[in-house]
Amino acid sequence: MTQAPDHFRQEFIAFAVEKEVLRFGEFKTKAGRLSPYFFNAGLFNDGMSLMKLGEFYAEAIKNSGIEFDMLFGPAYKGITLVASIAIAFAKNGHNYPYAYNRKEAKDHGEGGVIVGSPLKGRVLIIDDVISAGTSVRESVELIAANGANACGVAIAIDRQEKGLGELSAVQEVVKNNQIPVCAIANLNDLLQYLKNKKEMAQNLHAVEAYRQSYGVD
């Protein structure tokens, strides 16, 4: 699997920091850890930033080499993500169908939990980050229940930190579901970005210390 060029990943980190989607401080993670940084894709909350985000995802997916027939975004954050990525691909001549799910089944109108294109073929799951892998597991099961196959996961940032055991949360998803995961950028890219910003030396030291405790290569 091919990774996007370094300058591309650095541009994404800079974009996320500029939009205050990637923040520094002290944040409690789902695992109960105190993290010196936090990434919240829900803060890409205007048309221009969502358009650019979709383009970053599309480029990372293209570079990954993952072959897919359609895109799937789990509710709720995955809904805007998958739509923006489908649009980014369409602008470049690749018109992929996409779908997302409801949290609760609809009992009127078209009914069901799937909105958009019917799930079929090789389905690429879209998410922002992978913490415990719960969202991915539920998506894989939902896709299989509809007669399709999950072929991979695309996320914005790979935190490269331990999940339930010694593997990272992303590595656990790969192992447990037998599917590849690609990311626009990862913790290595974040550290590289911070090293080039003298005014962010304090953040660099905090992130490096956090990686010493929880990091996985």
Q: Are 123 and 71 in contact (CB under 8 A)?
A: yes
Residue 1: is it exposed, middle or buried by C-beta count within 10 angstroms (0-12/13-18/19+)?
exposed
106 is known as an active-site residue: yes
Catalytic residue among 91, 94, 106, 175: 106
DSSP of 39-69, one letter per residue?
E-GGG--SHHHHHHHHHHHHHHHHHHT---S
**108: alpha, beta or left? (left if phi > 0; alpha if psi -120 to 50):** beta
Catalytic residue among 7, 103, 108, 198: 108
Residues involved in catalysis: 106, 108
